[in-house]
Chains A and B, each alone.
Chain A
Amino acid sequence: MVKYIIKRLLNGLIVLLGVVTITFFITRVVPSDVAGKWAGERATEEQRKQAIAELGLDKPLVTQYVNYLKDLLSGDLGRSLRTKEPITKELASYFPATMELVLVAFLFAMFVGIPMGIYSAKKNGKMLDHTTRFFSIGAVSLPTFWVAMVFQLVFYRLLNWLPLGGRMSISASLMYDVPNVTGMLILDCILTGSWGLLGDAFVHIIMPGFTIALYPIGLVARMTRSALLEILNEDYITAAKSYGIREGRVLWRYALKNSLGATATVVALSMGYSLTNTFLTETIFSWPGLGSYVSKSVTTLDYPAIMGIAIISAIFYVILNLVADIIIALDPRIRL
């Protein structure tokens, strides 16, 4: 098992090096006025020359690449061309916000998606099954931005139950000290015991979290349902039932456990997908996360930022894949 994990980790490192190399050269090949971006559109010739020297653009591409790798090893991702801030600082600000959203979405996906799948499988072919299937297909196919806006209209404008957007209300941020330990507000509130702010942070994350969760919920529900249905037809389930074991116990204890392997992979990958695809949701809910940072950086060809984002999402994917692989490997049927 340890050997397997080490092997997977090494594989991951190779993937990362590949991502760094490819994005580095692609971003340099794309025609872009880098010095102009650093110094400003209306910069004088002198300012441009200064910019080229500061950014090391006068050196050959290979030297630039080696320098980038060196900096990367010491944890320096360079500075954004647009804001001139260190990329690590910007990522440290945006990444936890998105991570928090994705984690909440993950919880929604698990706690809503799996029960939905189970009940759907249990009531196979009945009304409840049809309803949940209708919902799960809807969740996968409805455009996020539309759902987000409908949520806003209903829960903010009409009912006024939930806030329109942002991570916390302005009055709450003035009344309480905003903790900053991990950058994930809810977690930080729990860690520092800021219970007043916790409630505020919680109501702010419900709408965006649920919007992002919609796709994984649908996916998880459908995966769980089909995996369970297959298992429920197995002989050992029939045997268990004939022993007189309660149906709930058979379903939750024996059938579900065996169906989770496939679900885990799907959840892990859909989370990786969510991380870089929260843009629309973040935009609509004014969530200061990675999504809008990605789009701004790409549209302005801010290549140090693009590289930073590529690296961090590659790391995230590698880790998620590793976790999914380990979960599957825990299954005795495919023990290595």
Chain B
Amino acid sequence: MKRSLVLMLAVILVASLFAGCVQGGGKTTTDAILYYACGSEPYLTLDPSVENSNGVCVLQNVYETLTRYNDQTGEVEPYLATSWTHNDDGTVWEFTLREDVSFHDGTKMNANAVKKSIDRTIKLGKGAAYIWTNVESVEVVSDYVVRFNCSESTSIDLIASAAYAAYIISEDACDKDGDWFNSEEGNDGGSGPYTVKSLVTGDQVMLSAYDGYWREWKENSYKMVVIKKHVESGTRRQLLETGDAHVGYNFSTTDIAALKANEKVEVKYLNTYNNILLFFNSEKQPCSNEDFRKALAYSFPYEEVINGVLENRGQLSHGLVTPGLWGHDENCKQYEFNLDKAREYLEKSGIDVSSVKLEFSIQSGYTEYKDLAQLWQTYLKEIGITMEIRERGWDSHIEHARATRPEDRQDIFIMIWWPDYADPSSWFQSMVHSQETPAFNLSYIKNPEWDAKIEEAMRLTATDRTRAEELYKEVQEGVLDGAYMIPVYDQVLTCVVSKEIDGFYYNPAYPNSVLFFNITHK
């Protein structure tokens, strides 16, 4: 027994010697690696046609799309396509492609590859493939011109800029399946600045620079990137504090406070396209009463939630469409917390509050929902309304809201929403346009006039965006005026960036992702 103890000690000593070598010898390599610490799995699948989750942070750097949305100007910009045209009614689109782009497997990016990629995504029909619903066919016009034929007016330029389901893949990779893309050896069929070097399932992605990339590399850009999962906020914080990691997201409030005091890092509050919405059940007493809904809207403590519950991980909403996205209206009506007004509307509604018992359905597992619900509950009590909070897992939360009989559904529902691509139609088509069986229209709005306006706006997006924007604004005024749905806050992402790097920019149209190509070390 004694001998084994001695042996173990010896092993430890020898191993620590080795460890010393590794740390010493590896120093030069470590300097050139960009370390991205994320809080959950870096991807679910790396199949670019299918992934509809965190994997964008990888795909955005490995694959490219025809166009890219600029959140500063609200315009779509050329990416793999240099220019595009469409016919008068926006049903036929032609994209001219760059001629100097090659995929990581050495093949040329051309119209055939574009056609094959989009066809593959549509055929697989997984993830966000539905964004192409209106596309009837993709045609190769010439080597570097590709045509999209649509069943109705569709803004293909916006769809082609999507963060999901719009990636252009090399022809060979198009024939591969998900297992190939997710192989731990690292396979990809992209044309972006980085290639997938290796993977550890559910844990880590290693990217390395692609030498044949069509844009010029800067001398001090990172040739290696590692994206690694560190579930604990405290672990990510320590990695940033020691300088091992360069970028990290979503920290607890205590960790944010500590990181703010650290001189080596910068804490950023990033605008997102996500907002949290309250839905009042307009088909069921008492929320079917407009004045009652308004009373509820005035009783919600918006600012207190942002400052107290979220500790600035949110900002006041102005309308359904989030800032930075076209269609956003800074002057849109917004309710404020005013219990006097709430009482006024309550009286006007003529509803006897003593008989009212509201059910507020929230998704379990999110402390912010629970906290804001409890805060609101106390204010509602002040104006005499009893509200019961029901926490449910997402499945039963949404199923309850879709119950066949309206009276079986909740009175108030809460949910987060974000657009599939940079188009406000997502909010209106999914949550305001009437639906025979409700999918996400969970205020159960049925308004033919708004339906017509939404359809018109979607039709005009490609050809007359100014008019489309006006129509969306009208509908959104109506929805808020009638207090059907209330945007409670726009989500703000906390991000901590090391001061060792330059060029960090977050575009909310591409959630959780950053273009590593633009980042350089100081």
Contact = CB atoms under 8 A, between A and B. Distances in A.
Given A32-B395, A85-B178, A43 B130 contact: yes
Given A42-B128, A50-B125, A288-B201, A84 B393 contact: no
A311 B14 CA distance: 39
Contact of B399 (A33, A39, A288): A33
A171 B26 contact: yes
A3 to B, nearest CB: 34
Interface stretch (A125-133, A136-144, A193-201): A193-201
Interface in B202-237: 202-204, 206, 224, 226, 228-232, 234-235
Contact of B133 (A44, A83, A288, A293): A44
A200 B224 contact: no
A65 interface: no
Contacts of A157: 238, 241-242
A134 interface: no
Contacts of A56: none
Interface in B355-383: 365
B261 interface: no
A31 B125 CA distance: 25
Interface string A164-192: 11100111111100101000000000000
Interface in B115-133: 125-130, 133
Contact of A196 (B22, B200, B242, B393): B22
B44 A82 contact: yes
B360 to A, nearest CB: 20
Given A157-B242, A175-B29, A165 B128 contact: no
A69 to B, nearest CB: 24
A84 B365 contact: no
A115 to B, nearest CB: 7
A198 B29 contact: no
Contacts of A233: none
A135 interface: no
Interface stretch (A4-12, A14-22, A89-97, A217-225): A89-97
Contact of B396 (A31, A165, A195, A299): A31
Contacts of B15: 198-199, 202-203
Q: Which of B18, B198, B224, B238 has the most CB of A within 10 A?
A: B18
A288 B235 contact: no
Nearest to B234: A149
Contacts of A166: 204, 228
B73 interface: no
Nearest to A171: B26
A85 B201 contact: yes
Contacts of A114: 1
B258 interface: no
B18 A196 contact: yes
Nearest to A252: B1
Interface string A260-297: 00000000000000000000000111101000110010
Interface residues of B, number: 68
Given A198-B18, A199-B16, A203-B16, A170 B30 contact: yes
Given A175-B26, A196-B18, A203-B19, A40 B127 contact: yes
Given A33-B398, A169-B26, A284-B232, A93 B202 contact: yes
Contacts of A165: 230, 235
B101 to A, nearest CB: 28
A116 to B, nearest CB: 12
A46 interface: yes
B141 interface: no
A237 B521 CA distance: 70
B8 interface: yes
B25 A175 contact: yes
Contacts of A296: 41
Contacts of B201: 85, 89-90, 93-94, 288
Contacts of B395: 31-33, 36, 301
A156 interface: yes
A111 B5 contact: yes
Listed residue (B50, B133, B202) with the most chain A CB atoms within 10 angstroms of its CB:
B202
A89 B183 CA distance: 10
A120 interface: no
B331 to A, nearest CB: 30
Interface string B1-24: 100110010011011111101110
Nearest to A280: B232
Chain B CB count within 10 A is highest, among A39, A165, A170, A285, for A170
Contacts of B25: 171, 175
B329 interface: no
B204 A31 contact: no
Contacts of B12: 202
Interface of B: 1, 4-5, 8, 11-12, 14-19, 21-23, 25-27, 29-30, 33, 35, 41, 44-45, 50, 52, 125-130, 133, 178-179, 182, 184, 198, 200-204, 206, 224, 226, 228-232, 234-235, 238-239, 241-242, 244, 365, 393, 395-396, 398-399, 420, 430, 440
Given A41-B398, A42-B430, A172-B26, 7 more contacts: A32-B395, A33-B399, A82-B44, A85-B178, A86-B179, A175-B22, A196-B18
Closest 7 CB pairs of A and B: A199-B18, A171-B26, A288-B203, A202-B15, A93-B201, A203-B19, A83-B44
13 contacts: A41-B398, A47-B126, A47-B129, A90-B201, A90-B202, A157-B241, A174-B26, A175-B25, A180-B184, A198-B18, A199-B21, A202-B12, A286-B231
